[in-house]
A = this chain, B = another copy of it.
Amino acid sequence: MRTIYLDHAGATPVRNEVFSAMSPYLQDVYGNPSSIHHKGREAYDAVTKARTEIAQALEVSPNEIIFTSGGTEANNLALRGVAQNVRLTKSHILVSAIEHKSVLETAHTLSQQGFEVEYIPVDEYGMVHVEDVVTRVRNDTLLISIMYANNEIGTIEPIAEIAEALHEKFGNARPLFHTDACQAPGQLKVSPHELGVDLMTLNSGKIYGPKGVGMLYVREGVCITPQIVGGEQERHLRAGTENVAGIVGFARALTLATEEQATTAVHLSSLRDTFIYSIRMEGFGAILNGHETERLPGNIHFSFPAIEGEALVLLLDSHGICASTGSACNAHDLLPSHVLRATKRAGEHIHGSLRLTLGRSTTEEELEITLKTLIACVERLRALSPLPLKL
């Protein structure tokens, strides 16, 4: 059976160009970048080149990049690294209610260690409002963490506006500002300077690079406490032999994503909008989650009242269509999504939710097949459903 893959927010295929770029580093170039002989130096040079490429793509300095094992580690490092560094003087942390679990759970562990964590609400579209951030900032606020674009419902947060407001109101006394931008590259422009953030998380595995590598951008002058110690790598901020092949692949993936971002965004937005329009035309009670326009180009997220999201995903899968009810990280625990709960949707919408995330290879034809299959699946599940349907 043909696979139609519409879960690009969960994982992306590794691009051929990326695999080709990585392959030598899984074969002939095997030195440890910390070794001083020529096999070590060629590995070191590869990491340096990758760092420079990433710095260029992000318009930052190479020494503002800390490679990690992925987005989750980078989010952990951002929050804990900043908190532990300034704990003597400040103890208040602001995070949005719709952050990825790796931000929310890290914030929670910090709250158990004496930090005060406050959650910034979102509106019904999953949008954080500038004033909801600014009014919560206190003298002892050390960090604000708000994601650039939500991984479940695709809402793009007003990061630059928030940064500007913080700058305007608090000047140099403003708290540090972190954004989890894992979903953004290739779909949105990703520039820490333009966004006005001090720290930013990226993940290779979400942008057609290999899994197991990511990074934290840390603006020059911002100090963080390392979380993995015992080596001089990453300027002593993250110990452990560099994942050379992974880093090389990540750099290639980010460079390509950046180069193609404008084109990809137009292409995906057009596919997305056609699909959303078509579903609505079907008139079977589908409710769009997330924002109408401030939305990741590749994100489609609907609730279908009176059915279970998991059942829908499994039924679509039996037709070869890969979709998701929300974040892949939540997929196995069957709990209602904390993101939808934060938008204050009714319970029945939460359970009947479906996320389709489009990617580079997604075609109009694939989405036409998906639409037909989806309609059939929803009808079949509704026929079986014990839940009342009020359209």
State whether A22 touches B26 (Cβ < 8 A): yes
From A66-74, A129-137, A295-303, give the one contacting chain B: A66-74
State whether B211 touches A243 (Cβ < 8 A): yes
Write out the residue numbers on chain B whose beta carbons fall within 8 Å of the beta carbon of A35: 7, 10-11, 322, 324, 328, 331
State whether A240 touches B322 (Cβ < 8 A): no
State whether A38 touches B229 (Cβ < 8 A): no
**Complex partner residue of A102 from B14, B106, B230, CB under 8 angstroms:** B230
- Cα A76 to Cα B238 in complex, Å, equals 11
Write out the residue numbers on chain B whose beta carbons fall within 8 Å of the beta carbon of A73: 69, 228, 240
State whether B241 touches A211 (Cβ < 8 A): yes
State whether A242 touches B211 (Cβ < 8 A): yes
Write out the residue numbers on chain B whose beta carbons fall within 8 Å of the beta carbon of A34: 10, 328-332
- Cα A76 to Cα B101 in complex, Å, equals 22
State whether B102 touches A39 (Cβ < 8 A): no
CB distance from A104 to the nearest CB of B (A): 7
State whether B72 touches A69 (Cβ < 8 A): no
State whether A30 touches B43 (Cβ < 8 A): no
A313-353 near B? 1/0 per residue, CB < 8 Å: 11011001111100011111100000000000000000000
Write out the residue numbers on chain B whose beta carbons fall within 8 Å of the beta carbon of A213: 212, 243
Given A35-B7, A105-B229, the answer on whether A205 and B241 have CB atoms closer than 8 Å is: yes
Q: Which of A1-39 contact B (CB under 8 A)?
A: 3, 5, 7, 10-14, 19, 22, 26-28, 30-32, 34-39
Q: Does A126 contact B (CB under 8 A)?
A: no
Q: Does A174 contact B (CB under 8 A)?
A: no
**Complex partner residue of A310 from B36, B68, B101, B109, CB under 8 angstroms:** B36
Q: Which of A187-214 contact B (CB under 8 A)?
A: 203, 205, 210-213
State whether A10 touches B26 (Cβ < 8 A): no
CB distance from A82 to the nearest CB of B (A): 16
Q: Does A93 contact B (CB under 8 A)?
A: no
Write out the residue numbers on chain B whose beta carbons fall within 8 Å of the beta carbon of A43: 11
- Cα A240 to Cα B206 in complex, Å, equals 12
State whether A231 touches B102 (Cβ < 8 A): yes
State whether A241 touches B13 (Cβ < 8 A): no
**Complex partner residue of A38 from B3, B26, B37, B210, CB under 8 angstroms:** B3
Given A10-B32, A26-B210, A27-B14, the answer on whether A227 and B229 have CB atoms closer than 8 Å is: no
Q: Which of A126-185 contact B (CB under 8 A)?
A: none
- Cα A100 to Cα B79 in complex, Å, equals 27
With A19-B26, A72-B230, A212-B241 already in contact, 14 other A-B pairs whose C-beta atoms are closer than 8 Å: A7-B31, A11-B35, A12-B30, A13-B27, A14-B27, A35-B328, A37-B321, A40-B328, A69-B240, A71-B240, A102-B229, A106-B229, A203-B241, A213-B243
Nearest 8 pairs of A and B residues by beta carbon:
A212-B243, A102-B230, A69-B69, A72-B240, A11-B32, A37-B322, A13-B30, A105-B230
**A residues bordering B, Cβ < 8 Å?**
3, 5, 7, 10-14, 19, 22, 26-28, 30-32, 34-40, 43, 68-73, 75-76, 100-106, 108-109, 203, 205, 210-213, 227-232, 239-246, 310, 313-314, 316-317, 320-324, 328-333
What are 9 of the A-B contact pairs (CB < 8 Å)?
A10-B32, A11-B40, A13-B28, A35-B324, A70-B243, A72-B231, A73-B240, A76-B227, A232-B333
